[in-house]
């Protein structure tokens, strides 16, 4: 497999012609997703193609995946497993050496040499979708005051929460006994900040939206903010990080809503399938803590918190 040359960092700044999707076959293993095997006609002008990692282990993959799946935006995708040389090589060959990457079809790219542009950051992909490609879908909240807060917390997720992101890797299908999980320095600060964000987003929304327009997501209707914070909920579940924390009822309701959401459940099923079928694994995560204190999720909704 040849990785596509990085179009933005070549010394001559030449954008090479797109040579078609890289490896479409893993879709067969994630049949619950809307993504399609790339059409034979690789020149499909409006095509949106995603290069991703196994969603069990990649929060940034899953955020973007959830946007495409929730808003039912047609796309093609390839999923790579970081645990094998081939997957690693593909990721190393990407513009910023990270997933997700969105490759735009010809019409959308509209480059002088007919090449295709690659958007190599999840936040950039989301902004492009929200402001340019699918402005009518309200990927960001419609109300300007809600949108400003949504953008702030989305950006904070992308640049902050360094302890949770660095020391508590996402691993969708696994749960550790919370008593066997150390709370490293700064971990509680990140958790408390997240809980505060959930609570203030819900409060602000309730103070602005009429009741009938509030669907219970962070900003009423589902938006990129829900997508951005969804993988934090997996971390809380996998490592038992909400143990001992006080959650207000709005926060509990939002958490339960996210675990029971039709689209997150559908993606969750695929993540569990990946694990059960051994499609993608990351061994070092299995022994992060005492391996006798871990068990697997058979059901993604086991993690409801009690609300009133």
Ligand X SMILES: N[C@@H](CCC(=O)N[C@@H](CS)C(=O)NCC(=O)O)C(=O)O
Residues in Cβ contact with 54 at an 8 Å cutoff, skipping those fewer than 6 apart: 61, 79, 80, 81, 82, 274, 279, 280
Q: Which is nearer to ligand X, 83 or 158 (CB)?
A: 158
> Shortest approach of ligand X to residue 232 CB, angstroms?
13
What number of chain residues touch ligand X (CB under 6 A)?
Answer: 14
The terminus-to-terminus CA distance of the chain in angstroms comes to 53
256-259 long-range contacts, CB within 8 A, separation 24+: 256/304, 256/305, 256/307, 257/216, 257/217, 258/226, 258/230, 258/233, 259/233, 259/300, 259/301, 259/303, 259/304
> Shortest approach of ligand X to residue 58 CB, angstroms?
4
> Shortest approach of ligand X to residue 67 CB, angstroms?
12
Residue 83 as a binder of ligand X (CB under 6 A): the answer is no
Q: Which is nearer to ligand X, 49 or 202 (CB)?
A: 49
Name the one residue in this structure whose structure tokens are 């960092």.
Answer: 9
Give the per-residue contact string, 38-77, with ligand X (x = CB under 6 A; - = no).
Answer: ---------------x----xxxx----------------
Q: Which is nearer to ligand X, 121 or 190 (CB)?
A: 121
**Segment interacting with ligand X, rule: CB under 6 A, options 41-49, 98-106, 110-118, 264-272:** 98-106
Q: Which is nearer to ligand X, 52 or 241 (CB)?
A: 52
Q: Which is nearer to ligand X, 99 or 146 (CB)?
A: 99
d(CA 124, CA 105): 17
Tokens of 4: 């596509």
Q: Which is nearer to ligand X, 58 or 103 (CB)?
A: 58
Cis peptide before 100 (omega within 30 of 0): yes
Residue 91 as a binder of ligand X (CB under 6 A): the answer is yes
> Shortest approach of ligand X to residue 76 CB, angstroms?
19
Residue 270 as a binder of ligand X (CB under 6 A): the answer is no
Subset of residues 132 to 171 that bind ligand X, contact rule: CB under 6 A: 158
> Shortest approach of ligand X to residue 107 CB, angstroms?
24
For residues 172 and 234, the answer to whether their CB atoms sit within 8 Å is yes
Q: Which is nearer to ligand X, 91 or 209 (CB)?
A: 91
Residue 98 as a binder of ligand X (CB under 6 A): the answer is yes
> Following DSSP, what letter does each residue of 149-200 receive, concatenated?
HHHHHHHHHHH--HHHHHHS---TTEEE-GGGS---TTHHHHHHHHHHHHHH
Instruction: Determine which residue in the list 65, 99, 104, 139 makes contact with ligand X, applying CB under 6 A.
Output: 99
Q: 102 pairs with which residues across the strands?
A: 50, 119
d(CA 50, CA 22): 10
> Shortest approach of ligand X to residue 279 CB, angstroms?
17
Subset of residues 120 to 139 that bind ligand X, contact rule: CB under 6 A: 121-123
Q: Which is nearer to ligand X, 91 or 201 (CB)?
A: 91
For residues 204 and 149, the answer to whether their CB atoms sit within 8 Å is yes
For residues 59 and 35, the answer to whether their CB atoms sit within 8 Å is no
Subset of residues 171 to 230 that bind ligand X, contact rule: CB under 6 A: none
User: What are the residues binding ligand X (CB under 6 A)?
Assistant: 53, 58-61, 91, 97-100, 121-123, 158
């Amino acid at each position: 497999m040849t990785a596509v040359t990085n179009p933005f960092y070549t010394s001559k700044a030449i954008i090479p012609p797109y040579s078609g999707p890289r490896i479409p076959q893993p879709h067969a293993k994630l049949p619950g997703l809307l993504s399609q095997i790339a059409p034979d006609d690789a020149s499909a002008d409006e095509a949106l193609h995603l290069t991703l990692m196994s969603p069990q282990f990649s929060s940034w993959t899953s955020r973007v995946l959830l946007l495409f799946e929730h808003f039912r935006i047609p796309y093609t995708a390839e999923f790579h497993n970081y645990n094998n040389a081939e997957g690693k090589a593909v990721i190393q060959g990407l513009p910023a050496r990270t997933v997700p990457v969105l490759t735009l079809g010809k019409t959308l790219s509209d480059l002088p040499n007919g090449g295709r542009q690659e958007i190599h950051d999840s936040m950039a992909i989301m902004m492009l979708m929200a402001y340019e490609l699918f402005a009518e879908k309200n990927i960001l909240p419609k109300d300007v005051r809600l949108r400003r807060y949504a953008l702030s917390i989305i950006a904070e997720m992308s640049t902050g929460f360094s302890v949770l992101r660095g020391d508590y890797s996402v691993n969708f299908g696994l749960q550790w006994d919370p008593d066997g999980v150390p709370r490293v320095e700064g971990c509680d600060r990140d958790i408390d900040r997240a809980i505060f964000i959930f609570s203030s987003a819900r409060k602000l929304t309730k103070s602005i939206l009429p009741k009938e327009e509030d669907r219970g997501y962070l900003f009423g209707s589902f938006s990129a903010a829900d997508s951005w914070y969804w993988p934090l909920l997996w971390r809380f579940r996998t490592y038992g990080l909400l143990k001992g924390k006080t959650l207000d009822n709005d926060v509990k309701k939002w958490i339960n809503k996210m675990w029971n959401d039709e689209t997150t459940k559908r993606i969750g099923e695929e993540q569990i399938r990946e694990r059960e079928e051994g499609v993608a694994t990351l061994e070092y995560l299995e022994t992060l803590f005492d391996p006798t204190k871990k068990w697997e999720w058979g059901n993604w909704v086991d993690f409801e918190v009690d609300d009133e």
